[in-house]
Amino acid sequence: MRGNVLIIGLGLIGGSIALGIKKEHPDARIFGYDTDKQQAMLAKALKIIDEPVDDYPETAKASDLIVICTPVNATVQVIETLSRQPLKETVILTDAGSTKKKVLDAAERHFGARHVFVGGHPMAGSHKSGVAAAKEHLFENAFYMLTPSRFAGVKEIGQLKMWLKGTKAKFLEVSAEEHDYLTGVISHMPHIMAASMVNLAESAEHKHEIIARLAAGGFRDTTRIASSSPEMWKDILLHNDQILIPLLDSWIREMEEVKEWMINKDSRRIYDFFSGAKRFRDALPVHEKGAIPSSYDLYVDVPDYPGVISEITGYLAESSISITNIRILETREEIYGVLAISFQSNKDRALAVECLQLKTTYDTYFD
């Protein structure tokens, strides 16, 4: 497609959407605005946008697609500002925010039937912020929820999907209310819990200095998302309060129950608590982007000495096995580290296991 695209909010998500649009529609001209000028300059330097702009309401007047990728409270303000501009009649407006009800209410209130607004929310991301973390493939195979306003028709929804085709995401239309409940359960509550676990550890550290250094796989796996943007999450909790408050109530009730079972030494219920969770977690879909990463990961226990990564990648390269990612998950003080190596296919992973078993004594395992 051709035309002018305006991205407002050039962070992780705005940058990744811009890359997806440019890939599929190289003739589109992508303008970008961010209150933080450095982000806009960086987006230009990284060729994520064609042109940074200072006056977004002015640029909006000639835009064919406007994508708002700011924290959700700012999204409502941007909608209000845009509604006061003489926008093109055919413009399509969307956003990428993690909540939808308040955003859709603002869009319907301010644009009415004058302009089409289709709420959007790609269900993939990261704890990292800023345009430097943007990736063309961030949304590949992920669900991309769309919440059309009541004035949006099939034609405009189809046009938006065309604009966003390069994200390679799977579109899913839901109502704003449904969206906020689903994400409340599967995304917002886990972020509250992760932040709470980290805060608990921090207060324990005042008395036991060693605690942070003991943080191993369990703590790291369950709290990565506590490193996410506080600004973004403050807004999400305030937007989705109607859903999150009852969810918090039922979670607090469950924690009270766990406490009671422990006081009463009720081993059966405690067992059921964990076995029920394990059953559901183990049955989550593995080979699509969602709760469980889609790559084929192999974990290798390696001694913590310089050069161990190049040793392992060297063996894999000798056997012509390609890897897509490699990272150290944790370092258990001067003894072992866990190397996570990602492969494109199950076959590559199996070959890597064979290769490492032949050439090293390191333990390998995968989920």
Ligand X SMILES: O=C(O)C(=O)C[C@]1(C(=O)O)C=C[C@@H](O)C=C1
247 lies in the binding site for ligand X (CB under 6 A): no
187 lies in the binding site for ligand X (CB under 6 A): yes
Among positions 75, 98, 149, 159, the unique one binding ligand X when judged by CB under 6 A:
98
| 147-174 CB burial, b ≥16 within 10 A, e <16 | bbbebbeeebbebbbebbbbbbbebeeb
User: What residues make contact with ligand NAD under the rule CB under 6 A?
Assistant: 8-14, 33-36, 39, 69-72, 74, 78, 96-98, 121-122, 125-126, 129-130, 229, 232, 236
| 82-121 CB burial, b ≥16 within 10 A, e <16 | bbebebbeebbbbbbbbbbbbbbebbbebbeeebbbbbbb
Q: Using CB distances below 5 to 8 A depending on partner kind, what does residue 300 bind out of ligand NAD, ligand X, none? A: none
Q: Using CB distances below 5 to 8 A depending on partner kind, what does residue 14 bind out of ligand X, ligand NAD, none? A: ligand NAD
Beta strands in 132-236 (DSSP E): 143-148, 170-173
Among positions 62, 133, 172, 225, the unique one binding ligand X when judged by CB under 6 A:
225
Site map 24..63 versus ligand X, x via CB under 6 A:
----------------------------------------
State the minimum distance, in angstroms, from the CB of residue 354 to ligand X. 32
Residue 342 phi, psi (nearest 5): -105, 140
Q: Which of residues 109-138 bind ligand X (CB under 6 A)?
A: 123-127
Dist CA 362 CA 309 (whole Å)? 12
State the minimum distance, in angstroms, from the CB of residue 120 to ligand NAD. 9
Q: Which is nearer to ligand NAD, 115 or 188 (CB)?
A: 188
Lay out the sheet containing 143-148: strands in order across.
Answer: 51-52, 29-33, 4-8, 65-68, 92-95, 116-122, 143-148, 170-173
The residues that touch ligand X, with contacts defined as CB under 6 A, are 98, 123-127, 187, 225, 228
